[in-house]
Chains A and B, each alone.
Chain A
Amino acid sequence: MKSFLQQYSIPKKVGIVSYGAYIPHQRITSAEIDLHQGKDPGSTAKSAHLISKAVPASDEDAATLACMSAGQALERASISSQDIQSLFIGSESHPYAVKPTGATVATALGLSQYISLADLEFACKAGTQGLQISAAYVQSGMQIASMAIGSDTAQAAPGDALEYSAAAGSAAYILGSKGILAELLATVSVATDTPDFWRLNGSEYPSHAGRFSGEPAYFAHITKSVTALLEMTQLTAKKIDYCVFHTPNMKFPTTVAKRLGFNLEQLQPSLLVQTVGNTYSAATLLALAQTLDSVEANKTILVASYGSGAGSDAFLFKTTPLLTKRRLHWSGLIKQQLSKTTNISYSEYMHNTSGGHA
């Protein structure tokens, strides 16, 4: 395994040169969902620590959310939008089965028409897979800069447990080799055929295998990718400053962090699932963004996503002084976005997520 992992090297400097986040401001509380599922209002907040989740407006979708986070990333970037030579959008709710979300977003943003582009799907890890692909395009020397976006308006069947967490959000990352805010030091991915959660073509809502999505799925794959990353980098959890894990709920990331040797202080800056919910392809990227919004320079961050079906992308980043310097001038940090929310009713939530068909 040692020699195989050694091939995952990063010969050229590459890292995050800008990033943006967008979380819709409307919320439905888990207490409101409790009422509609015939449970005691407040019981799910107590048991699963899920207080609310972000709900898109009735005219928002994965494409429009992607524009918002990408727009913030471009506003903060020191590179020209014309230097972005590829765009990968990962989502479980791409508006079309055939016609790429990336094309709509690239056009709206006014990116160059000379662009490599395709949509990605790998459940909740499609966004981070895009991040890895973007990094590869840049560090190969093939492109100046590349953008990866995770964006979802996730759906869950009324009455299902997932109804409490399936949420909407988007995060965008620009990878480049100059003006790096967080350098990519190492990355590795794992994938196996594990049917823990799926949605067939034509189905409106996904199906899941209940508790099977725990140990054989989430925990197995994150453990595998993180163990490999630590092996590659010859590091231990104690030697890393922060960690970010995929957040389908509160319990899974806190449990896997502990198992891998991380403590809650290392995980805390990334947690927003309690009030925002699971934003699927955006989840790990938003958790990383919230971490980057607050940590100091020269700090290492281990990131491990999880996508059902199943797989995990692991990364090791190190922040630079440029991040803390640039951040001083930014508006719209995640903390600020989370401070302006509006609670809506269950019927408004159903209306907003019903898709607006003729």
Chain B
Amino acid sequence: MKPADYWRQSKKWSSYLFKEGVVVQSTFQYVVPSAQEHYAPYSFLVLSVANETIEVMGVPGEKFQAGDRVRLVLRRTAVISTSEPISYGLKAEKI
């Protein structure tokens, strides 16, 4: 993640951190983008959180079903590259 992109994204973390929600739909991805290879396999989820529907990664290895209650936590979101700051973002874990 480029520095300016990281900076814009990081301003949104505190409004979502530890928010609870419900899984609308989930798929468990075995083949993932190269930047996320270290975390494979992981779920990709459509979530209903507060009054919004958002899409997030699940924490590594966890499978979800529609209706599961989850909480958003801060985790690394991409492998480390020396030319960019460490990517962090919100992922879902089961409550």
A residues apposed to B, CB below 8 Å: 57-61, 63-64, 67-68, 71, 75, 95-96, 99, 104, 107-110, 351, 354-358
- The 10 lowest CB-CB distance pairs between A and B, nearest first, are A110-B14, A356-B38, A59-B75, A59-B76, A358-B81, A108-B13, A358-B79, A67-B74, A356-B79, A357-B80
Determine the distance from Cα of A63 to Cα of B39 in the docked complex, in whole angstroms. 17
Question: Can you name the residue of chain B whose Cβ is closest to the Cβ of A105?
Answer: B74
How many residue pairs, one in A and one in B, have C-beta atoms under 8 Å apart?
A: 68
Chain A neighbourhood of B14, CB < 8 A: 107-110
Contacts of B15 in A (CB 8 A): 110
- With A58-B38, A58-B60, A68-B73 as known contacts, state yes or no: A104 contacts B81, CB within 8 Å: no
Instruction: Check B18 for interface membership: any CB of A closer than 8 A.
Output: yes
Chain B contacts of A59 at CB under 8 A?
A: 38-39, 59-60, 75-77, 91
Tell me how far the C-beta of B64 lies from the nearest C-beta in chain A, rounded to whole angstroms: 15
Chosen A-B contacts, 21 in total, with CB atoms closer than 8 Å, are A57-B61, A57-B75, A58-B60, A59-B39, A59-B59, A59-B60, A59-B77, A61-B76, A61-B86, A67-B17, A99-B85, A107-B14, A108-B74, A108-B88, A109-B17, A110-B14, A351-B38, A356-B76, A357-B79, A358-B79, A358-B81
Contact at A95–B86, with CB atoms within 8 Å? yes
Complex interface: chain B residues within 8 A of A61 (CB): 76, 86
Q: Is B35 an interface residue (CB 8 A)?
A: yes
In the complex, A343 Cα to B14 Cα: how many Å?
Answer: 32
Q: Write out the residue numbers on chain B whose beta carbons fall within 8 Å of the beta carbon of A356.
A: 38-39, 76, 79-80
B65 on the interface (CB 8 Å rule)? no
Nearest-CB distance from B20 to chain A (Å)? 12
Chain B residues with Cβ under 8 A from A68's Cβ?
Answer: 73
**Distance (whole angstroms) from the CB of A175 to the closest CB of chain B:** 22
**Nearest Cβ on chain A to B71's Cβ, whole angstroms:** 10
B33-47, CB under 8 A of A: which get 1 and which 0?
A: 001001100000000
Shortest Cβ gap from A249 to chain B (Å): 29
- Nearest-neighbour CB distance to chain A for B27, whole angstroms, equals 18
Please give the distance in Å from B8's CB to the nearest CB on chain A. 12
CB closest chain-A residue, reference B15:
A110
CB distance from A320 to the nearest CB of B (A): 27
